[in-house]
Every structure is written in structure tokens, then in C-alpha cells.
Amino acid sequence: MKAHTKTTQDSLSPQDALTFLKEGNKRFISNLSTNKNLLQMVNETRDGQWPFAVVLSCIDSRTSAELIFDQGLGDIFSARVAGNVVNEDILGSMEYAVKYAGSKLVLVLGHTKCGAVTSACKKVKDGNITALLHKIKPAIDRASKESNGATDDPVFIEKVATFNVFEAMEEIRERSTIISNMEKEGKILVVGAVYDVETGQVEFFEH
């Protein structure tokens, strides 16, 4: 496996970029990772980087995007924050990725059994964690409208994790004219997904 070049990045469509991640996850759950010479990839990327996607994921130690999508050095931008929530810095990073660095895909990746989502459902308040968890409240409200379950119920919490991905996608489109315009022009895709920490499988939400 070789690192991407400007030529290979330019040749990709947004759908190609999504396919790369889907195929990578299939390899991951089948334990068939591609052969990577990481030191060679260091050498190949020493003069520049051409990632084909930017992934917003949680800081959870089980959700490393490079691993679960079987990607190498220089393949993807990885933005990580507890609860995979959106803020101004995340948006700016994504805008840089797609407008100036040539990435073709924006992926919001949530996951099952998320500690941040669970804490938000339990209304945890402590230090700066309080403000972060407040960003998950729209997903809790959305899940509450569709369910009568208790907020500490595991099924309800997983619904919130999924809705939190949808909320992030909507927020990205609403708050970033750069990303929304590029998506409307067909230059990029904005996609959501949830990673199952028990199986390693990623479920994609393309629409």
C-alpha cells in the first residue's frame, strides 16, 4: 500500500472516497489489513499530504479512524473530540481539508457505548465537560420525541448516539457555507456513520 499523491487524490470522486472507507472497514473486520510499509509512507509523504477524506470521530480509544478503515499515513484527516461534536475549530479544520487540501469526503463517525453520549443522557455536569455535553442535547431531545424510554436506558442511549451523528451532519451544512456549497456542487460528500465497538463494523448513513 502506497501513500496517496496529488494525482491519485485528484482522480477520486467523492463516491470513490466513500468506497475506500467501506472497503477498508470490510478488511478490518475480516482481519485482512493491507500490507503497509509505514516507514516508506513516511518517506512518500515527507513533502506533502493528499488525504482523500476528513473524519470527525470521538476520542474514544477504540475508534481510531486509521485503524477501523485500514488506512495508512497521509490517507485521511482525523479530527477527534469527545462525543464527535461540532465546534468552530472542527468546522475550520474540515473547511481546510476540503477546500485547500483536496479531500473529497466529510465523515461524521459516532460509535456505540459512547461515554460522552451516556454522560449527556445522565446529565453529568463537571468542569468544562458540562459545555461539551450540552452540545449533545439536541440529539437527546430528538430521541426523546421518538421514544418513551428512560434516558439511562441502553437502547435510548444508542438512539442518541445515532441522532448525534445526524445532528452533527446538519450542523456542518448549516454553519459552513464552504462545505455546503461544495457538497451542492458535487465536489464532496457529507456522510454519517456509527462504529460498533463490539463487532468492529461501521454502518454508513449516506442520505
Q: In the chain, pLDDT over 90 holds for what percent of residues?
A: 80
Query: Within a domain: residue 31?
Result: yes
Residue 149: its pLDDT value, please?
A: 62
Q: Which amino acid is at 35?
A: N
Residue 120's pLDDT band, with cuts at 50, 70 and 90, is very high
Question: Tell me: the pLDDT tens digits for 67-119?
Answer: 999 999 899 999 999 999 999 999 999 999 999 999 999 999 999 999 999 99
> Is 128 within a domain?
yes
Q: Average pLDDT in the 176-205 region? A: 98
The predicted structure's pLDDT at residue 48: 83
Interatomic CA distance for residues 164 and 110, integer angstroms: 8
What DSSP designation does 149 have?
Answer: S
Q: What is the pLDDT of residue 10?
A: 80
CATH number of the domain within which 87 lies: 3.40.1050.10
Mean pLDDT of 53-78: 96
The boundaries of the domain holding residue 182 are 6-205
How far from 45 is each of 18, 90, 184, CA to CA, in Å? 22, 24, 31
Residue 23: CB atoms within 10 Å: 13
Confidence check: pLDDT of 139 > 70 = yes
Q: Total domain count for the chain?
A: 1
Residue 1, domain member (yes or no):
no
